[in-house]
């Protein structure tokens, strides 16, 4: 029996968003389920997106003086236990290696869930004087967390990420680094991925295990739920003390350095899908799209069409555009659907009449708008059109965020807004864990962050009536 | 007590090569011992070498139509067992994950020692028709093998590598791919790493577990031992049958595809060290050196010296050279020793008299030769000098290989040459495993490969006297 690939329908996103998401990751050939719960194959198309993300971030990290390193994939249990809060946060969800070859290990080791302990152990060996500081390291790798509920990109038992780890002579310098890297993430989300963000600080309940402060960029998905785009942590000297990391300062005194870490993961690809996707499939922001423009020749049997299409491909490629000309024997209609499913930002149609008229038709994946574009000078026009698609995507996502973020001043209002409309709510908060828990129990939302852009919506915490300390953005999170 | 970094002496390489190697990897700041046997921290300098290797290979792979993917890090035991020879080769040396979080796993999983089984499982899900072939994939990752004896770069329980895996409609096409990728490795070793290679086929005893044929590029180290630079395997359709991978061919018949895999690892960095290094430390081939040229200002207190040195740095950087100007407060002598230890291919000295004369002094790390170079037009001269260093390194390594590879025609001669002079021997072989084992037991060498460049040294196998089938290169291997 012959097996042939078909472009297939996907679930309506507004009818069943979760099923729509699953359909997209499979039909756009991003993911294959590996047969092991929570582990996924990143297929070439997904990995190419990740490579584009990596390249952009890596270049930025290096411009800011960071260096890449590689730490071991395994952490001995005794090492993981050195920092009390950290081990409490991670021990329940790690995978344990107990045997090497035929023999049982004297001490079991976990596959890294994150690498703070490994970086600290390393630094305790090599840090000597103030001359060695700052140490600004980054690692690209995968980590394991034994999650109960799993979904491609959003919550895997394995996921890929980068984890930056830095060591500084002073607290001020480390705090500055924490903010700087948060800004790198915010800028990356907005200007590379066309995803607007809310920058802010996590509450103590939501901060990273072992951190003094965690900062976040929060994004809103199509279904108005929140996704954390990237986080940046300030550790103070807590880890340095736990691991005995010291340096001789200029004044010849031994001191503890201050530390940060920050990370962004393949989860952000889930964010891209859920921010920009539609009922025709994936929609990719042009700056990370593996194929930025696809050329589809119309009436390929007509003389000259394939040749002209390939000339156009060569011209755009030479201009640095990631372009593909599809001359396979599928119909134009099949190809339209295929590249819509794959989220290619710009479709360029080229038929005999276009060639005669010295033009082509460019279609934005963001809006479906068709534009007649002269072939003369098209290599300068396509980058502009890609910028336009980026802006269209950003504006649409920003409108979604603004339209679905509502200020509330009472618990009744909070409950009503969340149950009837969903989205984010902005509300004042006294700073107590108890009120944060009540928001979860009674309203069904968690604190996303205390935005840097604070507003004074009132003087008291609507949960308990005590004086308010900060405005918090609340929502349901992935 | 103040701690300060000092440039330190290393062991004489001809007195104790193993200790020299250990000294170099530590003193050149390539490696930190992680505290877990066989696991190493790749420090920024080593990782930067690996990134340069990655970039060059990755570009080449992509030019040849390969795509990167990511497979899970864990393999369920049942999946590892699907191909009989493969599991026999790898099961004894894998690390087993038995617990996830608090619970024991229903089936234990190993941390991947190599990913053939994962690629096959994936292909069995997604391959449909001849239109999908070839599938030419590559993965950059780390793998685990629970080795008993471990050394940095050379034999780690964890090492980084790339593993290419491809699937083809016909045996011929897969065999062509196997050869093509071997040639990529050979070209990379010679033209990027300045390491001459012997290309050839492995004997059945030495081939990869599950392969029909394994091809290799073999390199000779300073101590005349062999190091395998990269390997390329042809699998036939054995894995496809074991995993039930089939496709509908153009004739509408279901067929089994043919498969290859090929890999190069961070082991090659060990090869670089042991091929080019000397008693002053590391010597890096210019094409992968993180710093290709270091500028050392002489008499920095003299007016204009630091400014001129930084101008020179900017000029060379703009020309695409990886250059560093060291204006730290260490002495020039300290800096000379430091960058010699780190193997920087070219040292550029710039002092007040040089500036006055409009010149600088360029010193080759390969030969120590000093050349006066006019500052005018230096940005074109430095790339030429780097090419010269590459050639100097290659010629020296080639001479080492040629001088220490000897043709022998009897067992007596083989024993005498190996015990008195070491190195490689070329000898005819009948093709029997028994004779190969006797070479190991009686001469102390293993078969490195049957070189593509065959010579007819005699008609019979010197071990058993039976008719000879091929000339084999024998040696002691890392």
Instruction: Say if the Cβ atoms of A2 and B93 lie within 8 Å.
Output: no
What's the rounded Cα separation, in Å, for the pair B313 and B279? 28
| pLDDT of A5 strictly over 60 | no
| pLDDT of A67 strictly over 50 | yes
CA distance A378 to chain B (A): 26
- Minimum Cα–Cα distance from A126: chain B residue: B32
Whether A163 and A258 map to the same domain: the answer is yes
Least CB–CB distance from B101: residue in A3, A5, A94: A94
Least CB–CB distance from B96: residue in A2, A92, A97: A97
| Residue B1 domain flag | no
Whether B251 and B361 map to the same domain: the answer is no
Whether B369 and B428 map to the same domain: the answer is no
Whether A251 and A369 map to the same domain: the answer is no
Tell me the residues of chain B between 93 and 112 that have a Cβ less than 8 Å away from chain A: 93-102, 108-109, 111
Name every chain B residue with its beta carbon within 8 A of the beta carbon of A141. 142
What's the rounded Cα separation, in Å, for the pair B420 and A429? 82
Whether B139 and B110 map to the same domain: the answer is yes
Q: Are strands B424-429 and B405-407 parallel, antiparallel or unpaired?
A: parallel
| Residue B284 domain flag | no
| pLDDT of A74 strictly over 80 | yes
Instruction: Say if the Cβ atoms of B44 and A137 lie within 8 Å.
Output: yes
Instruction: Say if the Cβ atoms of B118 and A41 lie within 8 Å.
Output: yes
Tell me the residues of chain A between 54 and 73 that have a Cβ less than 8 Å away from chain B: 67-73
| Residue A359 domain flag | yes
Tell me the residues of chain A between 111 and 130 that have a Cβ less than 8 Å away from chain B: 111, 118, 121-122, 125-126, 128-129
How high is the ipTM of this complex?
A: 0.95
Instruction: Say if the Cβ atoms of A92 and B100 lie within 8 Å.
Output: no
What's the rounded Cα separation, in Å, for the pair A464 and A411? 10
Q: What's the pLDDT band for A92 if we cut at 50, 70, 90?
A: confident
Helix B378-403 × helix B305-318 angle, to 10° = 70
CA distance A183 to chain B (A): 24
Boundaries of domain holding A220: 17-276
Asked if B224 contacts B404 with a C-beta cutoff of 8 angstroms, the reply is: yes
Nearest to A185 by CA among A70, A289, A103, A64: A64
What is the SS3 assignment for A62-117? HHCCCEECECCCEEEHHHHCCCHHHHHHHHHHCEEEEEECCEEEEEEEEECCCCHH
Q: What is the pLDDT of residue B477?
A: 96
What is the SS3 assignment for A280-324? CECCCCCCCCCCCEEEEECCCCCCCHHHHHHHHHHHHHHCCCCEE
Q: What is the pLDDT of residue B102?
A: 86
Least CB–CB distance from A111: residue in B39, B97, B157: B97
Least CB–CB distance from A3: residue in B48, B92, B128: B128
Domain count, chain A: 3
Nearest to A287 by CA among A343, A222, A340: A343
Q: What is the pLDDT of residue A9?
A: 84
Gyration radius of chain A's alpha carbons: 25
Contacts of A398 (CB under 8 A, 6+ apart): A196
Asked if B95 contacts B158 with a C-beta cutoff of 8 angstroms, the reply is: no
Is cis: bond before A190, omega within 30 of 0?
A: no
Q: Of B388, B417, B451, which one is at a domain's C-terminal end? A: B388
* pLDDT, average across residues A213-230: 98
Contacts of the segment A323-330: beta carbons below 8 A, 24+ positions apart: A323/A291, A323/A292, A323/A293, A323/A294, A323/A295, A324/A291, A324/A293, A324/A294, A324/A295, A325/A294, A325/A295, A325/A297, A326/A294, A326/A295, A326/A296, A326/A297, A327/A297, A327/A300, A328/B131
| Residue B447 domain flag | yes
What's the rounded Cα separation, in Å, for the pair B395 and B401? 10
What's the rounded Cα separation, in Å, for the pair B17 and B274? 9
Q: What percent of chain A clears pLDDT 90, i.e. is strictly above it?
A: 94
What's the rounded Cα separation, in Å, for the pair A375 and A361? 10
| Residue B69 domain flag | yes
CA distance B392 to chain A (A): 30
What's the rounded Cα separation, in Å, for the pair B63 and B261? 18
Asked if B69 contacts A43 with a C-beta cutoff of 8 angstroms, the reply is: yes
Whether B43 and B158 map to the same domain: the answer is yes
Instruction: Say if the Cβ atoms of A68 and B79 lie within 8 Å.
Output: no
Question: Could you give the count of Cα atoms lying within 13 Å of A167 in the half-sphere of its Cβ?
Answer: 29
Name every chain B residue with its beta carbon within 8 A of the beta carbon of A40. 72
**CATH code for the domain of A121:** 3.30.930.10
Instruction: Say if the Cβ atoms of A47 and B36 lie within 8 Å.
Output: no
**What b/e sequence results for A424-449 when a residue is b if at least 16 CB atoms lie within 10 Å of its CB, and e otherwise?**
bbbbbbbbeeebbeebeeebebbbbb
CB of B301 within 8 Å of a chain A CB? The answer is no
**What b/e sequence results for A113-125 when a residue is b if at least 16 CB atoms lie within 10 Å of its CB, and e otherwise?**
bbbbbbbbbbbbe
* pLDDT, average across residues A314-323: 98
**CATH code for the domain of B349:** 3.40.50.800
Q: Of A276, A302, A333, which one is at a domain's C-terminal end? A: A276
CA distance A77 to chain B (A): 11
CA distance A40 to chain B (A): 6
Q: What is the pLDDT of residue B350?
A: 97
Instruction: Tell me how far apart the terminal alpha carbons of chain A are, to the nearest angstrom.
Output: 42
What's the rounded Cα separation, in Å, for the pair A141 and A458? 45
Whether A430 and A385 map to the same domain: the answer is no
Asked if B71 contacts B119 with a C-beta cutoff of 8 angstroms, the reply is: yes
Whether A108 and A176 map to the same domain: the answer is yes
| Residue A8 domain flag | no
Q: What's the pLDDT band for A3 if we cut at 50, 70, 90?
A: very low
What's the rounded Cα separation, in Å, for the pair B409 and B468? 11
Alpha carbon dihedral A158, A162, A166, A172, in 10-degree steps, equals -110
Q: What is the pLDDT of residue A1?
A: 34
| Residue A7 domain flag | no
* pLDDT, average across residues A379-399: 98
Write out chain B's pLDDT in tens, 478 residues. 334 445 568 999 999 999 999 999 999 999 999 889 999 999 999 999 999 999 999 999 999 999 999 999 999 999 999 988 888 888 889 999 999 988 999 999 999 999 999 999 999 999 999 999 999 999 999 999 999 999 999 999 999 999 999 999 999 999 999 999 999 999 999 999 999 999 999 999 999 989 999 999 999 999 999 999 999 999 999 999 999 999 999 999 999 999 999 999 999 999 999 999 999 999 999 999 999 999 999 999 999 999 999 999 999 999 999 999 999 999 999 999 999 999 999 999 999 999 999 999 999 999 999 999 999 999 999 999 999 999 999 999 999 999 999 999 999 999 999 999 999 999 999 999 999 999 999 999 999 999 999 999 999 999 999 999 999 999 999 9
Whether B35 and B75 map to the same domain: the answer is yes
Least CB–CB distance from A252: residue in B2, B34, B39: B2
Q: What is the pLDDT of residue A8?
A: 62
Which neighbouring-strand residues pair with A350?
A: A297
Report pLDDT digits (tens) over A22-55: 999 999 999 999 889 999 999 999 999 999 999 9
**CATH code for the domain of B430:** 3.30.110.30
Whether A192 and A251 map to the same domain: the answer is yes
DSSP state letter for B129? B
Contacts of A307 (CB under 8 A, 6+ apart): none
Whether A385 and A412 map to the same domain: the answer is no
CA distance B251 to chain A (A): 10
* B184: enclosing H helix or E strand: helix B171-191
Helix A267-276 × helix A378-403 angle, to 10° = 90
Instruction: Say if the Cβ atoms of B96 and A94 lie within 8 Å.
Output: no
Q: How many C-beta atoms lie closer than 10 Å to residue B170's C-beta? A: 14
Whether A271 and A304 map to the same domain: the answer is no
Asked if B202 contacts B226 with a C-beta cutoff of 8 angstroms, the reply is: no
| Residue B225 domain flag | yes
CB of B26 within 8 Å of a chain A CB? The answer is no
């Amino acid at each position: 029996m012959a097996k042939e690939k078909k472009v297939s329908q996907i679930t309506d996103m507004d009818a069943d968003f979760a099923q729509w998401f699953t359909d997209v990751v499979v039909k756009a050939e991003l993911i294959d389920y590996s047969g092991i719960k929570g582990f996924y194959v990143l297929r070439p198309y997904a990995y190419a997106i990740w490579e584009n993300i990596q390249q952009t971030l890596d270049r930025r990290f290096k411009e800011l003086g960071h260096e890449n390193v590689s730490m071991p994939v395994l952490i001995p249990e005794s090492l993981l236990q050195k920092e009390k809060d950290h081990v409490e946060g991670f021990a329940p969800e790690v995978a344990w290696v107990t045997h090497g070859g035929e023999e049982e290990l004297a001490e079991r080791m976990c596959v890294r869930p994150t690498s703070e302990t490994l970086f600290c152990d390393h630094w305790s060996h090599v840090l000597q004087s103030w001359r060695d500081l700052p140490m600004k390291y980054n690692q690209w790798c995968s980590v394991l967390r034994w999650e109960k509920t799993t979904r491609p990109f959003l919550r895997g038992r394995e996921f890929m990420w980068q984890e930056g780890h830095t060591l500084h002579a002073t607290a001020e310098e480390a705090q500055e680094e924490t903010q700087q890297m948060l800004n790198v993430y915010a800028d990356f989300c907005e200007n590379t991925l066309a995803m607007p963000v809310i920058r802010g600080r996590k509450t103590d309940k939501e901060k990273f295990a072992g951190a003094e402060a965690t900062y976040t960029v929060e994004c809103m998905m199509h279904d108005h739920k929140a996704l954390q785009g990237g986080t940046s942590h300030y550790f103070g000297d807590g880890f340095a003390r736990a691991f005995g990391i010291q340096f001789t300062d200029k004044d010849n005194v031994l001191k503890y350095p201050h530390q940060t870490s920050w990370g962004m993961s393949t989860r952000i690809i889930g964010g891209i899908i859920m921010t920009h996707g539609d009922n025709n499939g994936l929609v990719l922001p042009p700056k990370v799209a593996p194929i930025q423009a696809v050329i589809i020749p119309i009436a390929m049997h007509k003389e000259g069409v394939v040749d002209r299409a390939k000339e156009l491909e060569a011209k755009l490629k030479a201009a640095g555009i990631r372009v593909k000309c599809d001359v396979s024997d599928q119909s134009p209609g099949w190809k339209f659907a295929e590249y819509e499913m794959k989220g290619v930002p710009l479709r360029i149609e080229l038929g005999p009449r276009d060639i005669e008229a010295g033009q082509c038709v460019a279609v934005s994946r963001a809006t479906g708008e068709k534009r007649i574009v002269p072939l003369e000078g098209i290599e300068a026009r396509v980058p502009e059109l890609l910028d336009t698609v980026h802006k269209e995507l950003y504006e649409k996502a920003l409108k979604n965020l603004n339209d679905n973020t509502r200020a509330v001043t009472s618990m009744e209002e909070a409950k009503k807004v969340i149950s009837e409309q969903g989205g984010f709510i902005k509300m004042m908060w006294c700073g107590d864990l108890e009120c944060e828990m009540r928001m979860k129990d009674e309203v069904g939302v968690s604190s996303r962050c205390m935005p840097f852009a604070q507003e004074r919506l009132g003087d008291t915490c609507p949960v308990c009536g005590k004086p308010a300390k900060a405005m918090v953005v609340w929502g349901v999170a992935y």
